[in-house]
Amino acid sequence: MVMKRREFLKGTAAIGLGGVAAGLMGRTALAAEGTLDIFFNSDTNVVEFWGSAIKPAFEAANPGTTLNLVSGGGGASMNALAERAFAALQSGTDPQIDMMEAIGPYHPEGAIEAGLWDDFSTLNLSNMSKVNPAVIDNQWSLPYRGSQVVMMYNSEKVPTPPKTFEELVAWIKANPGQFAYARPDLGDSGACFIERALQEVMGRDESLFTNENYTPEYAEPMFAKLWVLLNDIAPSLYKGGEYTGGNTPSIQLLASGVISMTIAWSDMALVAMNEGVVPETTAVAQLQDLAFIGGYSSVLVPTNAANHEMSLKLADFLISPEVQNKVVTDLGGFPSINWSEMSPELQAKFANVATTSIPTFPGPWEPALFDGWYRNVASNLTRS
């Protein structure tokens, strides 16, 4: 039995390696003059978006160029590809990579110092001035699509959406039963709501929360203030303090008309609005004092790419209004360029979501925050 199992493991490992080798060879064989090899860390829906919205337009505008869109196969293999690009840089050979999507520039170590990635702050791409400075994380990553948590509401019942968290709380209390957010562990939108509330009770000071500084002693007094705020609004929530089971159920509740406002991810909200599963009067808005949490996906271009000129041309195309409009309409994403550069219809539709800040919240805080929420906020509901 043991022998057999070992042989079995060896066999599967060999098949796995063979598959990887075949895959790499396939990629090598495809590299050719005028073919841009682009590797994706994002899901297939994003690759499909490139295939239908970006590839045809770019290839038509640049005859002789072909975009070869390759699913990178997850973080570990994307890292391996970045290592390959770095090794090629050191040996002066062709990395067979012209662009990498949705990974950071920090792996492999030393790559930035060695000049592996293009520095977009010095390249003067023609569309660079259109990019919203708030969404740029570092000069090597060119952000091209985003998702941010927003307020999603029925504009018939909410003519002027809240602009600050304080106004949001006031609106919730003035309209009992009309607001719901998701349980923090089941929908990130709900997590973002209580995290934004935590930032609110701590004076909107983002620097208080970092990846390294969570300790129970440090966090407890802050949480205590948060529970007061959340318990204060709980009786004014849907069903006197009930919480939805995820991002989609929140939107569903809004769609059914029982509530007038909820918290949602922008891409899910936009897809729901484009597909018409929510009423025509549905709209989204962003807080203007400190926005809800969000994140942007970027592309990296290796400086040693064989088709370097063309890769930069593609990068410039990505942040053109032409592609950015499609990011909103076809992908349900957020544009990385300023809303003022977008098509007038989209500008009008999303006038309330333009943001000047895209905060993040450190993961190490979440286990204690979420469990505390269950024990101190969710369990206080008394059913009549």
Partner 1 sequence: MSDTLSSATAPASAPLTKWRPTGLLFIAAPILLIAIFLFYPALRSIWGTIYVRQPDGSYAFSIASYLYFFSDSYSLTNLGRTFWTTIVTMVLLIAINLPIAIYLRFSGSRLAVFIQVLALFPMFVPGIVIVYALIRYLGPNGLLQTLLEVVGIGGFQSPYLTPWGPVIGMVWDAMPFTLLVLTAGMSGIATSAIEAAQDVGAGRLRILFSIILPQIKNSLLVVTSLNFLGLFGQAFMPFMLGPTSPEMMGPFMLRTFSTVRDPLQAATQATIVFALCSVAGLAYVRSIARRRAAELVK
Contacts with partner 1, residue ranges (CB under 8 A): 1, 183, 185-186, 239, 242-246, 249, 252-253, 256-258, 366-368, 370-371, 374-375, 378-379, 381, 383
Alpha-carbon span 317 to 62, nearest angstrom: 11
Three-state secondary-structure class, residue 284 = strand
Alpha-carbon span 111 to 115, nearest angstrom: 6
Contact 147, 267 (CB under 8 A): yes
DSSP string, 318-381: HTSHHHHHHHHHTT--B-SB-GGGS-HHHHHHTTTT--S------GGGHHHHHHHHHHHTGGG-
Residue 185 or 330 with smaller CB distance to partner 1: 185
Contact 255, 278 (CB under 8 A): yes
Residue 76 or 383 with smaller CB distance to partner 1: 383
Residue 186 or 346 with smaller CB distance to partner 1: 186
Strand partners, 262: 152, 180
C-alpha torsion sign, points 69, 70, 75, 81: negative
Residue 142 or 180 with smaller CB distance to partner 1: 180
Place of tokens 């544009």: 335
Supply the minimum distance, in Å, between the C-beta of residue 249 and partner 1.
7
Residue 8 or 374 with smaller CB distance to partner 1: 374
Contact 253, 179 (CB under 8 A): no
Alpha-carbon span 384 to 379, nearest angstrom: 14
Residue 180 or 306 with smaller CB distance to partner 1: 180
Alpha-carbon span 186 to 312, nearest angstrom: 40
Three-state secondary-structure class, residue 140 = coil
Supply the minimum distance, in Å, between the C-beta of residue 340 and partner 1.
38
Q: At what angle do helices 266-275 and 247-255 cross, to 10 degrees?
A: 40
Contact 120, 128 (CB under 8 A): yes
Supply the minimum distance, in Å, between the C-beta of residue 332 and partner 1.
20
Residue 158 or 315 with smaller CB distance to partner 1: 158
Alpha-carbon span 18 to 15, nearest angstrom: 5
Residue 178 or 286 with smaller CB distance to partner 1: 178
Supply the minimum distance, in Å, between the C-beta of residue 133 and partner 1.
35
